[in-house]
Amino acid sequence: MWYFQKVSNITTDELQVKRDDNPELNIIDVRVPERYKKGHIPNVPNIPYKLIKKGGYRPSEKTYVICHSGVDSKKTCKRLSAQGYDVVNVLGGMLDWHGETIK
């Protein structure tokens, strides 16, 4: 079952360093649109967990997944990882993000 899938994790600080080194890093934000609009990382698309749950997203490369606190991103990573995709959960989510955000 997908919920037993182990996932890779990264801290928000580690993600910031990776993003500074590679601005084209593939990151998705899986929060609901209302929360996303209140503040998100620049150039990071909103792909809600509900859409991913229905099979509406298939990453084409290694993808870093962020949400509000790290819960939905972990569920997303478990689901996608079980399907064979290379995904990394961002621990702490936007609550721990100290980098630039836009509204």
- State yes or no: is 67 an active-site residue: yes
Residue 101 has φ and ψ, to the nearest 5°, of -135, 155
What residues contact residue 57 under an 8 Å CB cut-off, 6+ apart?
28, 47, 51, 80
Provide CB contacts within 8 A for 54, sequence distance 6+: none
Point out the catalytic residue in the list 67, 77, 87, 88. 67
Instruction: Name the residues annotated as catalytic.
Output: 67
